[in-house]
Amino acid sequence: MNSFELNKIAGAVLFCLLIIMGVNQFGNMLIHPKTLAEPAFKIEVAEEAPKGGAPAAAEEQDPPVAGLLAAASADAGKKAFGKCAACHSVDKGGPAKVGPNLFDIVQSPKGHMAGFAYSDAIKKTEGAWTYENLYTFLKNPKAYAPGTKMAFAGAKSSKERADLIAYLRSLSDSPKPLPN
Ligand code: HEC
């Protein structure tokens, strides 16, 4: 093989490489690969609690839950419950999912589902699931019960929480009286 043949071979190899790169580029021009701007399916997850400082102090004061409940809509609450339904069943005797079943939760003791592995965080909080406690818990679960397993960022809107509670209240054989 003389050097002229070698040159020809080298030339052919280079030429092939150029063609391959060209085709690749051309392909990219034809098909614009796009990444989704937002994930196709979103799950709301609790944000990290800010370190130090008192975040609650900066937030606006919520109106009392009693007044909101008087005007709350269980139907709207049922719709809003879409964001809870991945983790909670609501039918009587329904199974635990990621979270416990929520039938008859209003005015029940904390950790009301027998056999569910609750975190200590929930059990350590005071009192039963009163309207007030649900209202505060659902706003920011991690602030109400630091260390809770409920990975939900919270429903910031007080009206939405009142609707949710009205819906939870309806999940009972005998719904508890509304607060005065
Ligand atoms: C990502 C899953 C998840 C989502 C979403 C979620 N929860 Fe939970 N929830 C849990 C888990 C897990 C627990 C148990 C918490 C613990 O033991 O710390 C819980 C506990 C609760 C409790 C206390 C139950 C009891 O027996 O003491 C209530 C009430 C509740 N959730 C309501 C809601 C509502 C209302 C929503 C929607 C606004 C919601 N959760 C969204 C997972 C979830």
pLDDT digits (tens, 9 = 90+) for 62-119: 999 999 999 999 999 999 999 999 999 999 999 999 999 999 999 999 999 999 999 9
CA 156 to chain centroid: 13
Q: How many CB atoms lie within 10 A of CB 108?
A: 16
Report the distance separating Cα 93 and Cα 161, nearest Å: 24
Ligand 1: which of 88, 130, 144 to mutate, most ligand atoms within 8 Å of CB?
88
pLDDT digits (tens, 9 = 90+) for 14-56: 887 888 787 777 766 777 666 667 667 777 776 665 555 555 5
Contact 127, 112 (CB under 8 A): no
Contact 66, 135 (CB under 8 A): no
User: Among all chains, which residue has been given the structure tokens 């964001």?
Assistant: 83
Which atom of ligand 1 sits closest to the CA of residue 122? 18
Ligand 1: which of 78, 112, 148, 150 to mutate, most ligand atoms within 8 Å of CB?
150
Ligand 1: which of 84, 104, 113, 132 to mutate, most ligand atoms within 8 Å of CB?
84
The closest of 62, 72, 53 to 160, measured between CA atoms, is 72
Cα-based angle 124, 125, 126 (whole degrees, multiple of 5): 120
List, in order, residues 6 or more apart from 5 with CB less than 8 Å away.
none
Alpha carbon separation from 75 to 10, 102, 170, 174 (Å, rounded)? 75, 17, 10, 18
pLDDT digits (tens, 9 = 90+) for 67-76: 999 999 999 9
pLDDT value at residue 54: 53
pLDDT band at residue 5 under the 50/70/90 scheme: confident
Cα-based angle 135, 139, 143 (whole degrees, multiple of 5): 110
Ligand 1 centroid to 12 CA: how many Å?
67
Ligand 1 centroid to 48 CA: how many Å?
17
Report the distance separating Cα 81 and Cα 58, nearest Å: 27
Which atom of ligand 1 sits closest to the CA of residue 45? 1
